[in-house]
Amino acid sequence: LAKTTQPISMDSYEGQEVNITCSHNNIATNDYITWYQQFPSQGPRFIIQGYKTKVTNEVASLFIPADRKSSTLSLPRVSLSDTAVYYCLVGLGAGNNRKLIWGLGTSLAVNP
């Protein structure tokens, strides 16, 4: 099974751009890459999902190189409320063999 690897923690300041990279060397052809945000004692919340190249929504951008062995979540102009744990999720397999693999998460601290 493929493993995802993310930095354990990151620090930033309000107004800066934050980039969090996830490695997934054994990603399968039909797998998507999804990022989630989690605040303490709450369930994770979907941020963005992509398959290749670049995806952008109102809260983040996701950059995926051609080989798809990594992905980078970009948060523009972070604020204190962006302090949370960010998870990279890669879907493996299909049908009954599907097992969603979660990374350990990156704890982002945004400072004033």
Which range touches other proteins (CB under 8 A), out of 20-28, 52-60, 67-75, 86-94? 86-94
- At 96, give phi and psi (nearest 5°): -70, -20
- β-strand 106-111 against 9-13: which pairing, if any? parallel
CA distances (Å), origin 50, targets 23, 32, 60: 14, 6, 12
Q: Least Å distance between CB 100 and other proteins? A: 6
CA atoms of 75 and 26, how far apart (whole Å): 25
Which range touches other proteins (CB under 8 A), out of 12-20, 59-67, 75-83, 97-105? 97-105
- In the complex with other proteins, the residue whose CB is nearer, 5 or 16, is 5
- Residues binding other proteins: what is the number (CB under 8 A)? 26
- In the complex with other proteins, the residue whose CB is nearer, 16 or 26, is 26
- In the complex with other proteins, the residue whose CB is nearer, 40 or 112, is 40
Are 106 and 85 in contact by the 8 Å Cβ rule? The answer is yes
Residue spans of alpha helices (H) in the chain: none
User: What is the binding site for other proteins (CB under 8 A)?
Assistant: 31-34, 36, 41-46, 49, 87, 89-91, 95-100, 102-105
